[in-house]
Amino acid sequence: MPRVLVVDDETGVRESLRMLLKSDCDVVTADSADAGLRALAEMPPDLVLLDLVMPGRSGLEFLAELGERGDAPPVIVLTATKTVATAVEAMKLGAADYVTKPFEVEALRIKIRHLLEHRALAREVVRLTDELEGRDRLGDLHGRTEAMREVFRTIERVARAPATVLIRGESGTGKELVARAVHDLSPRASGPFVAVNCAAIPDTLMESELFGHERGAFTDARDRRIGKFEAAGSGTLFLDEIGELPSSAQAKLLRALQERVIERVGGENPIEVDVRILAATNRDLEAAVREGRFREDLYYRVNVVPIDLPPLRERRADVPLLAERHLTRCREEMGAGPARFTRQALNALLRHDWPGNVRELENAVQRAVALCDGDVVDVGDLPEAIASADRTEVLHADVRTGRVDYEAAVSRFEQQLLREALDRCEWNQTRTAEALGLTRRMLKIKMDKLGLTKPD
């Protein structure tokens, strides 16, 4: 169901709209512009119904912020008859339509339906075009699953706008590549792209790293130095692992984002900065907020548009494409090497869970290329953890289809298990027994029974 966000300070209006729409839409309500912006960050709606006159930030201010996002949902403005002039103002700021209060239920319903249909159609057209064109990359990002194509489309939409983007995803899913793609597709592409890894800089140096320092600001500050904010001027600043930012730096970052000014450590004068912020995290930032480790106000400032990168195991169909692309790259770099994978090798790659995501896949391919001396990469060239998952799977299938009987399958499995453990421990029986939780005597008996001897 489409999601509709209702922003109105009057409970009566919110509730009557909820009743009116709940059979066709998921309705989320907010009682102020600020609450509305937070709701937007948590889950982007397909349509917004917006009151213009509210205490605190007005509907017009809400609209102006929304317009910066690049991926803004259409907005229908709710206005009292007397303030039609304001409604016109709102349309100039990008509102799609307006209705006057008290509104006519049927007319409102039709407007909502039209806007939702239009938005759904527009997206469908883009999606179908991607599919028809067989789109499988954006910048250095590769992928042809619908999940990745959706990421590509979001990147393209948000790149044009100045909004802050929060890139979320497990380690190795391509967060840094996404940040670069956003920069490269943005109007700031000719400006610098400056990345800061917030997890790699000691707390004590973080502020000076971000904001710079004046000469003599602290013991080691022999010279004045500009920080990353200034270095990224007119370009993009990428704050990687933003969840690791120490709390004093969080406060200063919030101020920089709100007021667009910074102060060098030990400096007296505020300096205006013009940077676009992209941030990334592989942690649950919401949890960090709940636990008090990350400021809530900063979280909402940073998470204006979220981009969620799916882990590789949730888009396995991209594995062959990524593996082959990396194989080609390794081959080009080395000037020789295998040109393709055997079917078994690809199967093993497809079945693996990839806890380290694309980075792990690239490492596995690289290793295979180094080990393989033929023209094709086979299962045996892959890291053990990946290859063995495949062998166990084959064994399962053999038992299911009756090709191997139960006893034989169990001893083959035992054989695999023991051989892998022995390989890992360089055939040292004492260490192998320990690793498997067996006595050395038991290991020896099993090795004899299964005919396992050290290969030479």
Ligand X SMILES: Nc1ncnc2c1ncn2[C@@H]1O[C@H](COP(=O)(O)OP(=O)(O)OP(=O)(O)O)[C@@H](O)[C@H]1O
227 interacts with, out of Mg ion, ligand X, none, CB within 5 to 8 A per kind: none
Considering only 141, 163, 304, 348, the residue that binds ligand X (CB under 6 A) is 141
Which tokens go with 250? 């969080």
Q: Which of 262, 286, 289, 291 is nearest to 274 (CA)?
A: 262
By CB under 5 A, is residue 378 in contact with Mg ion? Answer: no
Q: Tell whether residue 14 is a contact of ligand X (CB under 6 A).
A: no
Record the tokens describing residue 84, joined without a space. Answer: 């039609």
- Per partner kind, with CB cut-offs from 5 to 8 A, the member of ligand X, Mg ion, none near residue 282 is ligand X
What is d(CA 111, CA 45) in angstroms, rounded to the nearest whole number? 16
Q: Quick one: what does residue 323 bind among ligand X, Mg ion, none, with the CB cut-off 5 to 8 Å set by partner type? A: none
Q: Is 176 in the site for ligand X (CB under 6 A)?
A: yes
DSSP for 8-71, please give it.
Answer: -S-HHHHHHHHHHHTTTSEEEEESSHHHHHHHHHHS--SEEEEES--SSS-HHHHHHHHHTSSS
Exposure of 178 by Cβ count < 10 A (0-12 exposed, 13-18 middle, 19+ buried)?
buried
Q: Identify which range of 97-105, 140-148, 264-272, 412-420 contacts ligand X by CB under 6 A.
A: 140-148
Pick the closer one to ligand X by CB: 177 or 206.
177
Could you tell me which of 424, 455, 456, 430 has the C-alpha nearest to residue 444?
A: 430
Binding segment toward ligand X, per CB under 6 A, in 75-83, 174-182, 343-351, 394-402: 174-182
Least distance between ligand X and beta carbon 281 (Å): 8
How many whole angstroms separate alpha carbon 429 and alpha carbon 286?
48
Shortest distance (Å) from residue 241 CB to ligand X: 7
CA angle 262, 263, 265 (to 5 degrees): 135
Residue 17, binding choice from Mg ion, ligand X, none, Cβ under 5 to 8 Å by partner class: none
For 448, other C-beta atoms within 10 Å of its C-beta total 10
Q: Tell me the CA end-to-end span of the chain in Å, nearest whole number.
A: 64
Placement of tokens 């393209």 in the chain: 156
362 binds ligand X (CB under 6 A): yes
Number of helices and strands (H, E) in the chain?
19, 18
How many residues lie near ligand X (CB under 6 A)? 17
Q: Which of residues 112 and 309 has its CB atom nearest to ligand X in the complex?
A: 309
> Smallest gap, in angstroms, from Cβ of residue 248 to ligand X?
24
Least distance in angstroms from the C-beta of 26 to ligand X: 30
**Interhelix angle 319-334/357-371, nearest 10 degrees:** 50
Q: Interface with Mg ion includes 176 (CB under 5 A)?
A: yes
- Could you tell which of ligand X, Mg ion, none binds residue 73, using a CB distance below 5 to 8 A set by kind? none
Residue at token pair 């600001």: 217
Which of Mg ion, ligand X, none is residue 174 near (CB under 5 to 8 Å by kind)? ligand X
Name the residues that contact Mg ion, by CB under 5 A.
175-176
Q: Which residues bind ligand X (CB under 6 A)?
A: 140-143, 169, 171-177, 282, 322, 358-359, 362
